[in-house]
């Protein structure tokens, strides 16, 4: 039995380590020593989505996410999610999560710093994107 048959969640050459086991959270993986590391290819998708939502105020969230999804479909090779499926505007919107800005929502509903997960996007960009998605009732 090979290591990939024994550990089907193994991904190679996508993290700073030689091999890492995927985290349940898209964009992160566990290194051999248990440290949480960023998966660069997945982080690029997250950063692109949040940045475009934060930086393009003259288009609706739906239009921005549709354009990104179409761009990923036309890319060669196609940019797929972990399930090896095409991205949709709704699944791209779900990437706007506090954890990617190094934040979490506490029991009072307040965004606070979290420890353990490296920041992929800045907190200010995340907050702009998150507020837009909520204002337009996309999430």
| 3-state secondary structure (DSSP) of residue 95 | coil
**pLDDT (tens digit, 9 = 90+) per residue, 6-54?**
334 433 334 344 345 777 899 999 988 889 999 999 999 999 999 999 9
Say if CB 50 and CB 125 are below 8 A apart: yes
> Taking 50 as the threshold, does the pLDDT of residue 69 lie above it?
yes
Q: Which residue has the higher pLDDT, 102 or 18?
A: 102
| Backbone dihedral angles phi then psi of residue 80, each to the nearest 5 degrees | -110, 160
pTM above 0.85, yes or no: no
The per-residue pLDDT for 134 is: 93
pLDDT band at 5 (very low <50, low <70, confident <90, very high): very low
Say if CB 139 and CB 93 are below 8 A apart: yes
pLDDT, mean over the chain: 85
Least Cα distance to 132 among 72, 43, 55, 70 occurs for 55
């Amino acid at each position: 039995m090979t290591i990939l048959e024994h550990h089907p969640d193994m991904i190679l050459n996508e993290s700073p380590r030689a091999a890492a086991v995927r985290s349940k959270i898209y964009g992160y993986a566990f290194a051999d020593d248990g440290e949480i590391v960023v998966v660069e290819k997945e982080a690029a998708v997250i950063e692109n989505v949040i940045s475009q939502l934060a930086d393009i105020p003259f288009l609706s969230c739906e239009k921005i996410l549709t354009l990104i999804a179409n761009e990923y479909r036309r890319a060669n090779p196609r940019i797929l999610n972990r399930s090896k499926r095409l991205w949709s505007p709704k699944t791209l919107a779900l990437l706007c999560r506090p954890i990617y800005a190094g934040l979490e929502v506490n029991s009072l509903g307040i965004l606070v710093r979290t420890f353990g997960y490296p920041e992929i996007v800045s907190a200010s960009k995340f907050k702009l994107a998150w507020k837009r998605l909520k204002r337009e009732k996309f999430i």
